[in-house]
């Protein structure tokens, strides 16, 4: 005999379901975030293995960007390590003798490339590029403006460090405010031998997580606008494009760079144009030159960030810096 629940019983049952959901929901969200964070680290670790293969075969780390002030085709480390990511036949479709935005490379550059994307970051992003062919590109058409919706990379290398004009920035590594772009583990337009990383592979950043491009994110809030570099070929954020930017800490209150020059400045999860930035609770991921992936906590001080960026400053890094504290 079929029984029908009374209205009171339905209300009580519904209330129980809501209570159970309220209890379980945080655990479900935490488990999901943890899985995404692990996937992000796995992808970064896979990129690190590709760098190691490149170094073994070519005698060093690939250029962080090509076509920098020399007329050669625009590109970066993403296209250079593509053959070592073992992505079926995709690497054979990318030709670095042409600009990454060239019609020759358009199919592969516009294709989704999950290995370059952290699952915790915003979805459905691309970097719009509009440019003519570089002087030394094999494309003979130097007049047509090509358009490309390039796939994203959430990971980026350094081409220098921008220090504050006061506080810790004064004489941090010499008299200059900016620490030159010739002191990082990757160089422009050339392969850099691992032996040049004098501070040690485990003490030097190769890539940092800098998620959210091409949008500008400040302290977990998206700023209005199209991004830092518009549609020019030097726009950052495309996996096949220029893969480096100057690193800098930010003002902890505003998220803007440069910072105040004191201990309150923020290196992690405050600014996704110049600092370490991830959509994770308590920090973001970095790849060291030895291929290891570490989680960088929110308390990373700006000077340590700078020392980790430069390959030959002579500073030893306390391994306790890699934490979620």
In this structure, the strands spanning 205-209 and 283-288 are: antiparallel
Residue 52, pLDDT score? 98
- pLDDT digits over 250-267, tens only? 999 999 998 999 889 999
Token pair recorded at residue 324 = 């979620």
Which of 103, 63, 272 lies closest to 185, judged by CA? 63
Residue 177, pLDDT score? 54
The rounded distance, in Å, linking the Cα atoms of 49 and 109 is 21
- pLDDT digits over 51-73, tens only? 999 999 999 999 999 999 999 99
Residue 272, pLDDT score? 96
Q: Specify burial of residue 260 (Cβ count, 10 A radius: 0-12, 13-18, 19+).
A: buried
Number of structural domains, the chain? 1
CB 189 within 8 A of CB 272: no
CB 247 within 8 A of CB 254: no
The rounded distance, in Å, linking the Cα atoms of 70 and 91 is 24
Residue 17, pLDDT score? 59
- Tell whether 171 is covered by a domain: yes
- Tell whether 124 is covered by a domain: yes
Looking at every residue in the chain, the average pLDDT score rounds to: 88
Low-confidence ranges of the chain (pLDDT < 50): 1, 324-325
**In sequence order, what are the residues at sequence separation of 6 or more whose Cβ sits closer than 8 angstroms to the Cβ of residue 181?**
159, 160, 188, 246
Its pTM surpasses 0.85: yes
- Tell whether 20 is covered by a domain: no
Residue 26, pLDDT score? 55
Q: How far is CA 3 from each of CA 6, 13, 253, 309, rounded to the nearest angstrom?
A: 9, 15, 61, 70
Number of Cα atoms under 13 Å in the Cβ half of residue 50? 23
Q: What is the DSSP letter of 82?
A: G
- Tell whether 172 is covered by a domain: yes
Token pair recorded at residue 48 = 């690190």
Domain range for 47: 33-321
Whether the CA torsion 44, 45, 48, 49 is positive or negative: it is negative
Phi and psi angles of residue 273, each rounded to the nearest 5 degrees, phi first: -100, -30
- Tell whether 254 is covered by a domain: yes
- Tell whether 12 is covered by a domain: no
- Tell whether 11 is covered by a domain: no
- Tell whether 24 is covered by a domain: no
**In sequence order, what are the residues at sequence separation of 6 or more whose Cβ sits closer than 8 angstroms to the Cβ of residue 72?**
66, 134, 135, 136, 137, 189
């Amino acid at each position: 005999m079929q029984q029908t629940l009374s209205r009171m019983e339905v209300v009580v049952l519904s209330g129980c379901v809501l209570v159970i959901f309220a209890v379980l929901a945080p655990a479900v969200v935490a488990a999901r975030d943890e899985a995404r964070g692990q996937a992000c680290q796995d992808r970064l670790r896979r990129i690190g293995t590709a760098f190691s293969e490149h170094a073994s075969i070519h005698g060093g780390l690939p250029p962080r960007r090509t076509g920098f002030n020399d007329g050669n085709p625009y590109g970066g480390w993403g296209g250079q390590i593509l053959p070592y990511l073992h992505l079926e036949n995709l690497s054979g479709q990318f030709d670095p003798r042409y600009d990454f935005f060239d019609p020759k490379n358009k199919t592969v550059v516009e294709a989704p490339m999950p290995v370059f994307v952290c699952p915790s970051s915003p979805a459905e992003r691309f970097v719009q590029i509009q440019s003519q062919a570089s002087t030394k590109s094999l494309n003979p058409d130097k007049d047509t403006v090509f358009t490309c919706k390039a796939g994203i990379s959430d990971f980026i290398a350094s081409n220098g460090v921008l220090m504050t004009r006061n506080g810790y920035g004064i004489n941090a590594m010499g008299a200059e405010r900016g620490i030159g772009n010739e002191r990082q583990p990757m160089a422009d337009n050339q392969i850099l031998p691992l032996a040049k990383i004098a501070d040690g592979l485990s003490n030097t950043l190769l890539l940092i997580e800098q998620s959210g491009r091409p949008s500008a994110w400040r302290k977990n809030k998206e700023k209005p606008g199209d991004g830092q570099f518009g549609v020019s070929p030097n726009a950052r954020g495309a996996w096949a494009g220029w893969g480096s930017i100057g690193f800098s800490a930010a003002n902890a209150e505003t998220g803007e760079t440069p910072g105040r020059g004191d201990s309150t400045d923020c290196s992690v999860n405050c600014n996704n144009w110049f600092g370490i930035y991830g959509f994770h609770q308590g920090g973001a991921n970095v790849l060291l030159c030895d291929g290891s992936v570490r989680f960088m906590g929110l308390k990373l001080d700006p000077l340590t960030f700078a020392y980790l960026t430069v390959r030959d400053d002579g500073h030893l890094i306390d391994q306790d810096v890699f934490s979620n504290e």
